Structure formats: C-alpha cells, structure tokens
Amino acid sequence: MSPLEQFSVTPLVSLHIAGYDVSFTNQALVMCIIVAAASLFMALAVRKGGLVPTRSQSMAELSYEFIANMIDATAGKAGYRFFPFVFAIFMFVILSNYFGLIPGVFTVTSQIAVNFALAVVVILTVIVTGFLKHGIRFLTLFVPKAKWYLLILLVPIEVVSFFTRPISLSVRLFANMLAGHTMLAVFAGFVVSLGAAGGLLSIIAVAPMFMIVAVMALEFLVAFLQAYVFTMLTCIYLNEALHLHDNH
C-alpha cells in the first residue's frame, strides 16, 4: 500500500450534471460531517447558556474568545464584523485537521483544492472589503513610500506579492498536512514490513511504532498551529484592507 493512497479522492455516489462530474466523494462526506459536527457542537454547547459553564460550554466559549482576541489584536474593533467569517474558517480548518488525525478518516486540508478555495474566499473578501471601504484608494496598497522611479519596479512586485497570498496560505496548510500524514503512513508501513520479515527484524518493528506515537503527538500540535496560522493570516489581511496604511 502506497503512503499516498490515503489522499486519493474516490466517488461514493456518482453524479454527472450537464457534463460536469459532481460526484459525492469521500472528501465531500468528511466535509459534511465536519460542518455538521461544528454546528451541532456549538449549538448544543451553548444551549443551556449557564452562568457557570459546563465543560462543553466552556470549550465553545474558549474557542469564541480565542478568535475574538485574535481579531481584536490584529484588526481592532473594526474587525469584529468579520467574526462569523473568521470563526467559521477557524472551526472548519481545525476540525478538518483533527478529524484527519482519526485513523481511516480522510484529511480534507491535505487537498490543495480545498485550501485554495478557502484562501480565494479570504482574498476575495479582502479585496471586496478594501474597495467598499476605501474605494479606488484601496489600490494605494500596492504603492509603497518610495521615489517615483523606484515605483516602476516596486508596484509590480507588490502586486505579485499580493496575489501570492492565497497561494502561500493554501500551500502552507496543504504541505504541512500532506507531510505529516505521509510520514505517519511511511512509518506504519515500516512496522508492517519489518513485522512480516520475521526473526530479529520483527523485534526492531517496535522502533517505528514508537516513532508513530511521537509523530502523532507532533501532528496534534501542527493541526492546531496550522489552523491558528491560517486564521491569523486571514485576520492580518483583513486588517490591511480595513486600515490600509495605518499599521505599516
């Protein structure tokens, strides 16, 4: 079994509409489960709304405060109107990462298409917000303070680096998840093949087993950290659209 086999998208229900393949895949199923789980968790956790929170209510409140503080620290009060957007992105990415760590569950964020779709939504929100708030003046985002003859060179560079954002945002998440899960599968493959080799080699098979435990622990950290980075950068980009040159 190839260590990359876990990333293959397979159709569960074949669907073709107007010549397009819109099959319901294993990936779509996991995404539906994630959205349902996030909605159910948040709805059930705050249902009672007790003054003294229960464990689940406390978890919901902690995630709320985590994102609220993040927005406050990066984009200030003006960023609060984007709270639902940022919170939805955070919950989706972090749940995708953690669901993916359950053995046998497809890792949604290991697909560049999913991450890129998320990143494009973020960048479109930034562009629309920027133009709505500043009008044509939003384009001064691409004009750094410099001599006019340097601007000929600097403006294209700024434009390229702006459009790099959705790519680097999605590639970072994708690369981290892909690398971690491939590593896990490779070590798991070592355990099987060493175990099947017999004799002394079967005893050594314990070593990669411990390695899996260590990598798994690291992956738990990476799953959170990557969700944090993705959300944090979303906030930073939104801040630039909201406040243009204020914080430079």
Footprint on residues 97-126 left by other proteins (CB under 8 A):
none
Instruction: Provide the b/e sequence for 81-103 (b: ≥16 CB within 10 Å).
Output: ebeeebbebbbbbbbbbbbbbee
DSSP label of 23: -
| Cβ 228 vs Cβ 113: under 8 Å | no
* Residue 156 in the binding site for other proteins (CB under 8 A): yes
Beta carbon nearer to other proteins, 132 or 214? 214
Using CB under 8 A as the binding rule, whether residue 176 contacts other proteins is answered as yes
The interface region with other proteins, picked from 18-26, 130-138, 149-157, 203-211 by CB under 8 A, is 149-157
Q: Report how far residue 4's alpha carbon sits from residue 185's, in angstroms, rounded to the nearest whole number.
A: 8
Q: Indicate whether 54 belongs to the interface with other proteins (CB under 8 A).
A: no
Give the torsion sign (CA, 228, 229, 234, 236).
positive
CB-based contact 153:201 (threshold 8 Å): no
Closest CB to other proteins among residues 132, 221? 221
Task: Establish if 207 lies at the interface with other proteins (CB under 8 A).
Answer: no
Nearer to other proteins, 105 or 167 (CB): 167
The number of residues that bind other proteins (CB under 8 A) is 20
Q: Specify the stretch interacting with other proteins by CB under 8 A; choose among 33-41, 105-113, 153-161, 209-217.
A: 153-161
- SS3 of 199, please? coil
Q: What is the DSSP letter of 16?
A: E
Give the chain's length: 248
Shortest Cβ 216–other proteins spacing (Å) = 16
Q: Is 171 in the site for other proteins (CB under 8 A)?
A: yes
Within 13 Å of residue 19, how many CA atoms lie on the same side as its CB? 0
Identify the residue whose tokens are 């002394």. Answer: 200
Name the site residues for other proteins (rule: CB under 8 A). Answer: 66, 69, 73, 153, 156-161, 163-164, 167-168, 171-172, 175-176, 225, 228
